[in-house]
A and B are shown apart, each in its own frame.
Chain A
Amino acid sequence: MQAFRLKEQLVPILTQTLVVGAILYVALLLFQNTQANLEARNIASGFGFLSVESGMPINDSLLAYAPADTYGRAFLVGIVNTLFVSALSIVLATALGVLVGVARVSANWLVARLAAVYVELFRNIPLLLTLFFCYSTLLAFLPAPRQSLSPLAGVFINNRGVFAPRPHWLDGMGWVVLALGLAAIGAVLLARRSKRLRDETGRGLPAGWISLGLIAGLPTLAYFLAGRPIDFDVPTLHGFNFKGGMVLRPEFTALLTGLVLYTAAFIGENVRSGIQSVDKGQLDAAKALGLRPGSIMRKVILPQTLRVCIPATTNDYTSLVKNSSLAVAIGYPDMVSIGGTIIGQNDQAIEVIGLWMAVYLTINLVLSLGMNWCNAKVRLVER
Chain B
Amino acid sequence: MSEIKTFVPTPDSPPPLTSTGVLRWLRDNLFSSWFNSLLTLLALALLVRVVPPLVSWALVHAVWTGGPGVCDDASGACWAFIAAKARVMLIGTYPPELAWRPLAAGALLAGVVAATVSGRCKKRVLTGLWPVFFAAALWLVGGGAGLETVDQSRWGGLMLSLGLAAVGILVSVPLGILLALGRRSGMGGVSAVCIGFIELVRGVPLITILFMASVMMPLFLPPNFQINNLLRVQVGIILFSSAYIAEVVRGGLQAIPKGQIDAAKALGLSPWMVTVFVVLPQAVRHVLPALIGRCIALFKDTSLVIIVGLLDFLGMAKAASQDQLWLGHEVEGYVFCAAVYWVICFGMSRYGRSLEKRGPQTNR
Contact = CB atoms under 8 A, between A and B. Distances in A.
A353 B39 contact: no
A136 interface: yes
Given A110-B40, A365-B203, A336 B208 contact: yes
Interface string A31-66: 001101110100000000000000000000000000
Interface residues of B, number: 56
B216 A16 contact: no
Contact of A38 (B32, B219, B304, B328): B219
A151 B345 CA distance: 40
Contacts of B40: 108, 110-111
Interface in A164-203: none
Interface stretch (A123-131, A245-253, A305-313, A370-378): A123-131
A364 B307 contact: no
Chain B contact residues: helix, strand, loop or mixed: helix
B203 A110 contact: no
B32 A107 contact: yes
B203 A360 contact: yes
Nearest to B222: A33
A109 B30 contact: yes
Given A124-B346, A132-B318, A360-B204, A30 B188 contact: no
Chain A, interface size category, equals 35 or more
Interface in A108-154: 108-111, 114, 120-121, 123-129, 132-133, 136-137, 140
Contacts of B35: 293
Given A20-B193, A37-B223, A110-B43, A129 B200 contact: no
Contact of A19 (B44, B189, B221): B189
B306 interface: yes
A361 B331 contact: no
Interface in A303-362: 318, 322-323, 325-326, 328-329, 336, 340, 343, 349-350, 353, 356-357, 360-361
Contacts of A357: 200, 203-204, 208
A328 B307 CA distance: 8
A249 B220 CA distance: 39
Contacts of B211: 336, 340, 343, 349, 353, 356
Contacts of A121: 342
A121 B339 CA distance: 10
Contacts of B307: 328-329
Given A109-B30, A110-B40, A128-B304, A37 B203 contact: no
Contacts of B29: 107-110
Contact of A16 (B187, B208, B221, B222): B187
B30 A108 contact: yes
A129 B303 contact: yes
Contacts of B205: 322-323, 325, 336, 360
Contacts of A36: 222-223
A111 B32 CA distance: 13
A2 interface: no
Contacts of A349: 211-212, 215-216, 219
B56 interface: no
B190 A19 contact: yes
A100 B47 CA distance: 17
Contact of A326 (B33, B190, B304, B346): B304
A237 interface: no
A241 interface: no
Contacts of A127: 300
B219 A322 contact: no
A128 B303 contact: yes
Contacts of B207: 325-326, 328, 336
B337 interface: yes
Nearest to A357: B204
A212 interface: no
B341 interface: yes
Contacts of A329: 306-307
B36 A107 contact: yes
B24 to A, nearest CB: 13
A277 interface: no
Interface string A246-262: 00000000000000000
B203 A33 contact: no
A12 interface: yes
A-B pairs with lowest CB-CB distance, top 6? A16-B189, A109-B29, A124-B345, A322-B205, A126-B300, A325-B205
23 contacts: A17-B189, A30-B220, A33-B222, A37-B218, A107-B29, A108-B40, A110-B43, A111-B39, A114-B46, A124-B296, A124-B349, A125-B342, A126-B303, A126-B314, A126-B341, A140-B330, A293-B33, A329-B306, A349-B212, A349-B216, A350-B216, A350-B219, A360-B208
Interface of A: 12, 15-17, 19-20, 23, 30, 33-34, 36-38, 40, 106-111, 114, 120-121, 123-129, 132-133, 136-137, 140, 293, 318, 322-323, 325-326, 328-329, 336, 340, 343, 349-350, 353, 356-357, 360-361, 364-365
